[in-house]
């Protein structure tokens, strides 16, 4: 919905991909009262506390991942959420699972629900892919790194989830054995994964 009263503000939003956090909108010159008036008039939609998007844009693909990426740009989508992104699972999750570096502050996100997993420096910083969703950068671990993570956290998510993901990976993707072995080593699950990786050869 367009509104001539807010042409300047709408233009600011469009210059930022149609989505802004309240703090950035104010910094760009939009008064808080105007921001809330735009929301009440249906010009903006609220994605999360302090995150607004132009209502006339096409529906977001994977809006939960975009919302988390905007609120927690240092986080990385991991485990079952990454498997869903890579189409390597039949699991349905009602939360976004994210990795954070050990010792970092947990982001305050009202929606969508998140589940945080803490990774040491080596495991956190490797295997990250950056994907553009509706113009926003979303960080997701690669399929190979995600498999290693699933075996590492198998007690929390279930070994059956990891084995199903490995089966989908073998059936649908080019097997990158060097990467699988490297991430297994980084995640310290070499011995656990080795029999399953050998069975893939």
Helical H segments across 72-189, by residue range: 79-85, 121-125, 143-152, 154-157, 159-172, 177-186
* 147-181 pLDDT tens trace: 999 999 999 999 999 999 999 999 988 999 999 99
Global confidence as pTM? 0.76
pLDDT at 2: 55
Q: Which residue has the tokens 């302090």?
A: 50
Instruction: Please write the tens of the pLDDT for every residue from 55-77.
Output: 888 776 677 898 898 889 999 99
What are the tens digits of pLDDT across the range 87-111?
Answer: 999 998 889 999 999 988 888 887 8
Is residue 136 pLDDT above 80, yes or no? no
Mean pLDDT rounded to a whole number for the chain? 90
- The answer to whether residue 201 scores a pLDDT higher than 70 is no
Q: How many residues does the chain have?
A: 201
């Amino acid at each position: 919905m367009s509104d001539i009263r807010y042409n300047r503000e709408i233009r600011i939003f469009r210059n930022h991909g149609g989505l802004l956090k309240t703090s950035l909108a104010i910094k760009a010159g939009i008064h808080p009262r105007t921001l809330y008036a735009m929301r009440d008039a249906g010009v903006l939609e609220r994605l999360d506390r302090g995150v607004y998007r132009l209502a006339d844009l096409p529906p977001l693909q994977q809006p939960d991942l975009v919302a988390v990426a905007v609120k927690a740009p240092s986080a990385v989508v991991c485990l079952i959420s990454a498997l869903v992104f890579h189409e390597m699972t039949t699991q349905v999750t009602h939360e976004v699972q994210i990795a954070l570096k050990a010792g970092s502050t947990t982001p305050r996100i009202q929606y969508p629900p998140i589940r945080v997993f803490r990774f040491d420096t080596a495991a956190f910083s490797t295997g990250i892919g950056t994907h553009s969703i509706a113009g926003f950068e979303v960080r997701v671990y690669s399929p190979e790194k995600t498999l290693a993570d699933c075996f590492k956290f198998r007690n929390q998510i279930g070994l059956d989830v990891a084995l199903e993901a490995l089966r989908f990976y073998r059936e649908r993707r080019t097997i990158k054995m060097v990467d699988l072995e490297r991430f297994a080593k980084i995640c310290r699950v070499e011995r656990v994964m080795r029999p399953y990786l050998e069975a893939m050869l």
